Amino acid sequence: MGKLKELIENIAKALVDNPDAVQVKEIEGEQTLVIELKVAKEDLGKVIGKQGRTARAMRTILSAASTKLRKRAVLEIIE
């Protein structure tokens, strides 16, 4: 299941100014996979985007990728 974690990590690192501060944690349940994304405080706005558009796009990509693996994945952005 590391592919989804890697996917979100690569997207986040491309968006932020401080890619070393990007942390991605995977919490696997029976039906659902929760991916927690943590970035530097000053990069939080870049990951969320205007009106949450960037975060929504990342969630859409994650959803499409997780459907292929027959799992439900949720992206949590941690402040």
CATH code (residue 17): 3.30.300.20
- Quickly list DSSP for 53-64: HHHHHHHHHHHH
**In 3D, which of 21, 19, 12, 3 has the Cα closest to residue 57?**
12
Q: Please give the tally of structural domains in the chain.
A: 1
Q: What is the pLDDT of residues 21-65, one digit of tens each?
A: 999 999 998 889 999 999 999 999 999 999 999 999 999 999 999
pTM: 0.89
- Domain extent, residue 62, equals 2-78
